[in-house]
Amino acid sequence: MAGDMTAPAAVAPALFLGAGPRPGEQLRAHALAVADAVTAASGRGRPYSGADPAALAAAIAAIDPCPEDGIEFEDVLAGLAGTVLAHGVDVADPCCAAHLHCPTLLPAAAAELAIGATNQSLDSFDQAPAATLVEDHLVRWLAATLGLPDGSGVLTSGGTASNLLGLLIAREQACARVAGHGLGAGLPARHRRWRIVTSRGAHDSVRRAAAVLGLGTDAVVAVATDRAGRLDVAALDGALAALDAAGDEPIAIVATAGTTDLGAIDPLAPIAERARACGAWLHVDAAVGSAFALSPRLAPRLAGLERADSITADLHKLWFMPIGASALLVRDVAVLDAVHHHSDYLNRADDQADGVLNLVGRSLDTSRRFDALKILVGLRSTGRRRMAAMVEGLVDLTAAAGRAVQEHDELELLAPPSTVTVVFRWRPAAGSPLPAAAVDAVNVAAQRALLRSGRAIVGRTRLDGRIALKLTLVNPLADEAGVQRLLELVAGAARDARAHAETAR
Ligand SMILES: Cc1ncc(COP(=O)(O)O)c(C=O)c1O
């Protein structure tokens, strides 16, 4: 009964930490049950069940999200095990290789429980005192590790959000250069001349950020790349000269350290020189490559990163953290004032006088998770040496995969591997040629058939207008034999697709 004041006390103890006679017992039981359920759902010997999408949708639609009376936790889990957990992708399966989507460090995954159960909210100190200081400590460490010794930043939900925040700062810096322009006035008329210069290999989130920031996707100037997918510095010079001649202003240059498809690391130092010379903000999207900083062997490939004004680093890629875990790092924390808004209930003047940090002043979010905890737990449990060894192992595995593609009769390597991606295509054997469109169709069919059967999840993209397949090797459990098996699966599926197309003709 709604007005019955005793009812909540009668039902609450088992639901909340800190209540009931044996605090924590319920949480421990739930944690064990979850651990058992996810373990049972993993290691199926294939990365996906291959469930028919319509049948899966129907099974999920049949779940009552909020039954009138609650169901025992173990029964809820058991119900979801067959419907949901069994039909997830297994990121630890070596044949799950489409995306920058890694298996997660178990200590970090376990720390998610602490994040959820303690529910610190990173917007204000009075909702997360130690958590606020942990995040501040962590982002300073990350900034220093990536070459900004006096830098800082903020955690975000992902690389898309970090790129948006980096470009928002660039836009606010440009606004500040327009005489008499204040934050309240929106964009000055001059914004129609503002451009964001990046490479053709940059992540799509750069264009999305331009749209969200009111500059429009046409404000993004995409510069040509070389065969390995690195921004071509001569083309950048040409693009900057053309902007100058047209009276347009490059407010930001976005370099990428590890592009999504080819894994290319742009030449950061020459790009930094151009940014400095034309007064543009230098944002480096190191969503992929940031983990190279942990390895003395790989870190030199990030030379020039230390000249960035802002950096995106995704911890849920090559740092093996559970999604979401990303950071936007800046050389000077004062630039994050671009998102600082006074609010009487969160960000009070007397807090500042007390030396209290309210991270809402650095973020586009208000309530925000304590993701710093899982990162801290994951990194401290694993240690730099093992982190570096895993990243180095993946770069070596990718190079080996590139060689295996080159040596394969039916596969063609489309670009030299740079970091953790191999981009390739099935091709017909010499003596049985096919038109390019038919080759593309076979590659599409092979990728789709593998996903449908659940045997392998490989990436599919376009390179110079043609279909390309992609392996993204971010699973430290994968080895060369596994990659070879994966390539054979692709070649076999392509052979089947070609035979099918020929009989259908
Ligand atoms: C280079 C790069 N930047 C940004 C992103 C976006 O990251 P997220 O998916 O975490 O938003 C990606 C995603 O793959 C990426 O490859």
Take atom 8 of ligand 1 and give the residue whose Cα is closest.
159
Centre of ligand 1 to C-alpha 203, Å, is 6
Ligand 1: distance of its center to the CA of 344 in Å? 35
Regions of the chain with pLDDT less than 70: 1-13, 20, 23, 182-183, 505
pLDDT score at 1: 38
The answer to whether 441 touches 358, Cβ cutoff 8 Å, is: no
Cβ neighbours, 10 Å, residue 349: 9
- In ligand 1, the atom with minimum distance to the C-alpha of 316 is 10
The domain spans of the chain are 42-87, 120-382, 385-504
Q: Nearest C-alpha to atom 4 of ligand 1 is from which residue?
A: 159
CA-CA distances (angstroms) from residue 385 to 256, 292, 432? 25, 12, 50
Candidates 3.40.1160.10, 3.40.30.10, 3.40.640.10, 1.10.10.10; CATH matching 120-382? 3.40.640.10
d(CA 15, CA 17): 7
| Other Cβ atoms within 10 Å of 337 Cβ, number | 15
Looking only at the bridges linking them, the beta strands covering 96-97 and 310-314 are unpaired
- Atom 15 in ligand 1: residue holding the nearest Cα: 260
By most ligand atoms within 8 Å of CB, the mutation choice from 100, 310, 321 for ligand 1 is 100
In the reported structure, the alpha carbon of residue 390 is separated from the centroid of ligand 1 by a whole-number distance in angstroms of 20
Phi then psi dihedrals of residue 90, to 5 deg: -100, 100
Q: Which two tokens stand for residue 227?
A: 């065969």
CA of 501 to the centre of ligand 1 (A): 35
The reported pLDDT for the residue numbered 350 is: 83
Q: Would you state the pLDDT for residue 352?
A: 77
Q: How far is the CA of 160 from the centre of ligand 1 (A)?
A: 6
Q: What is the pLDDT of residues 366-425, one digit of tens each?
A: 999 999 999 999 999 999 999 999 999 999 999 999 999 999 999 999 999 999 999 999
Nearest CA to ligand 1 atom 16: 260
| E-strand stretches of 402-455 | 411-413, 421-426
| 324 upstream amide cis, omega within 30 of 0 | yes
Q: Which residues line ligand 1 (CB under 6 A)?
A: 100, 158-160, 163, 203, 205, 256, 258-260, 285, 287-288, 314, 326
Which fold would CATH assign to domain 385-504? Aspartate Aminotransferase, domain 1 (3.90.1150)
Q: Which of 376, 293, 315 is closest to 108 using CA atoms?
A: 376
Which of 109, 130, 26, 192 shows the shortest CA–CA distance to 381?
109
Question: Of all atoms in ligand 1, which is nearest to the CA of residue 158?
Answer: 10
CA angle 138, 144, 150 (to 5 degrees): 100
**Cβ atoms of 381 and 111 closer than 8 Å:** no
The residues, any chain, with a CB within 8 Å of residue 122's CB and separated by 6 or more, are: 128, 131, 132, 135, 155, 359, 360, 363, 368, 369, 370, 372
pTM: 0.95
Nearby residues of 411 by Cβ (< 8 Å), 6 or more positions away? 405, 424, 425, 426, 427, 487, 490, 491
Best of 167, 231, 314 for a ligand 1 pocket test (most atoms within 8 Å of beta carbon): 314
Q: pLDDT at position 185, please?
A: 77
